[in-house]
Structure 1
């Protein structure tokens, strides 16, 4: 007898939840069952066919008579639980043809729309005055192929200021609700889900938000700003952090003079509303990745270089962005500015070349 290797135990008074994260099944155990499971974890050979608890644990898949192979995994158990636990969306009935799919998906959407959607914009949380951004202008070079070829990650920035009109263009192309697509109507799209960004978004939910950390932008005071895509405007939500940018981003101090950075957050409540399965957690990161790449290509077309990272202490960024509950979480950071084009900072190049500091 063996213990199923895909179990995660959650203490929930008055008992505990045993979650089989591979099969997406959960079982609630009272004290007697929990105590017996603890004994069997300590010594599976104590299994007794005449013990009703033992047989029920076996029938539930918590115990197994066969060896269950676990995949080779180089990271920790938490990442393994996340990966396996978000695999294979449970589906009671897989559509056999396009007609079944259409009916089933429509039923799902109608069930979702029967409940109120989370607020589409952050306006309900951020009520301060708005700073209108300049209308977006065409980049210096709007060739996609050139932007793709020229895009590179740089770690050496001059600190020169960015023009406000370039900030407006950058945000509009990355996060803005494109006015150019307002006439691209489709009567199959539900009201409130019809706005379009330049990057794809799961379910058309636009579940990511953007927060600017401004250090050197012409005609804009340093600070932390929320971007309102429907209005193409900013609102100040916090003063500049009282510490170097590198202290917020994993000690990467080569970025301290970056003139502009963008924190990309995910509104999990929007995803929960339409997609209740944990698979949707993956989609939050996918959407943040789309936006990050769009930001970099737009910045490159505007004549800037870019840098990006996922290294930060979430608690610090929550405070900086005034994220007050778990519905919205920071996922990624990307920044841009004038650069000498070097992939590595001078200090690292000196170390690699053996040059004394």
Structure 2
């Protein structure tokens, strides 16, 4: 007898939950079942076909008659649980043709739309608090090919100020709800889900938001700002932290003079509303990736270099953005500014020069 390797156990007084994260099944065990499972984990050979608890654990696939081989995994168990647990979409029946898919998807959307969605952006502001952003700037480089060719991750910035117009252009083309697309809205799109960005979004939910970290922008005081895509405006969130930016971003102090950064967050409750399975969690990261690339290409077309990272302490960033304890979570950071174009900071280049024979 063997223990199913795709299990984790959650303490849940007065018992415990045994979760099979591969098959998306869970079982609540009382003290007797929990005690017996602990004995069998210690020694599977204690299995007794005449013990009703043992046979029920076997029927629940907590125990298995043959050993289940697991693929080699180079990271820790948490990443393994996440990867395997979100591999497949739970589906009782896979549509066999386009008509069947259409009916099934329409039924799902009708059921979802019968409930109220989470607001796409935070509602803790009033219109008078919004800081209007200027119209789009003329891009210095109109060629999409050139923007792709020239995009470069740099770690050496001059700290020169960015114009407010460039900031408005960056935000509108990355996160803004494009007014130019209003007339082309498909009539089949449900009310409240018609807003379109330049990047795709899972389910048209626009679950990702943006928070600006402003250090040096002409016409805008340093601080942290929330971007409101429907209004194409900013609202002030908080002062900049007293510590250098590098302390917030895992000690990467070469970025301390970065004039502008963008924290991309995800409103997980927007995703929960439409997609109630864990695979949807992946879509938050996919959307953040789309937005990050768009931000970088627009910044490149505006004549700036970019830098990006996922290395930061979530609790510190949540406190800065005032999202602690909420369903809005930071996923990624991308910044831009004038740069000397170096991929590495001067300090790293000095070390590499000394290390050369």
After superposition, what is the alpha-carbon deviation per residue over 1:129-167, rounded to whole angstroms, capped at 9, x for unaligned? 111000112311121110000001000000000011000
The Cα shift of 1:67 comes to 1.3
Structure 2 match to 1:102: 102
Tell me the equivalent position of 1:36.
36
Q: What root-mean-square deviation, in Å, do the aligned CA atoms of Structure 1 and Structure 2 show? A: 1.1
**Is contact 2:315-2:324 (8 Å) kept?**
no
Question: Match for residue 328 of structure 2?
Answer: 328
> If the length of structure 1 is used for normalisation, what is the TM-score?
0.98
Q: Which residue of 1 aligns with 2:15?
A: 15
Unaligned 5+ segments in structure 2 are: none
- Counterpart position of 1:157: 157
Which residue number in structure 2 is paired with residue 255 of structure 1?
255
Deviation at 1:206, TM superposition (A): 0.2
Structure 1 residue 355, shift from structure 2 partner:
7.5
Are 1:210 and 1:226, in contact at CA under 8 Å, matched by a contact in 2?
Answer: yes
> Following the alignment from structure 1 to structure 2, what is the Cα–Cα distance between the partners of residues 20 and 9?
9
Give the Cα separation in 2 of the matches to 1:137 and 1:180: 16
What is the distance in 2 between the residues matched to 1:138 and 1:340? 23
Alignment size in residue pairs: 355
Counterpart in the other structure of 1:114: 114
The equivalent of 1:349 in structure 2 is 349
Supply the distance in 2 between the matched residues of 1:113 and 1:258 (Cα, whole angstroms). 42
Write the distance in 1 (CA, Å) between the matches of 2:276 and 2:355: 55
Matches within 5 A, 1:1-357: 1-122=1-122, 124-127=123-126, 129-354=129-354
With 320-329 and 294-303 compared, the bigger mean Cα shift is at 320-329
- Give SS of 2:336's match: strand
**What is the DSSP-based 3-state SS (H/G/I as helix, E as strand, rest coil) of the residue aligned with 1:183?**
helix
Q: Indicate conservation of the 8 Å contact 2:250/2:312, yes or no.
A: yes
Runs (4+) of structure 1 exceeding 4 A deviation are none
- Tell me the CA shift for residue 320 of structure 1: 0.4
SS in structure 2 of the partner of residue 320 of structure 1: helix
**Matched position secondary structure for 2:10:** strand
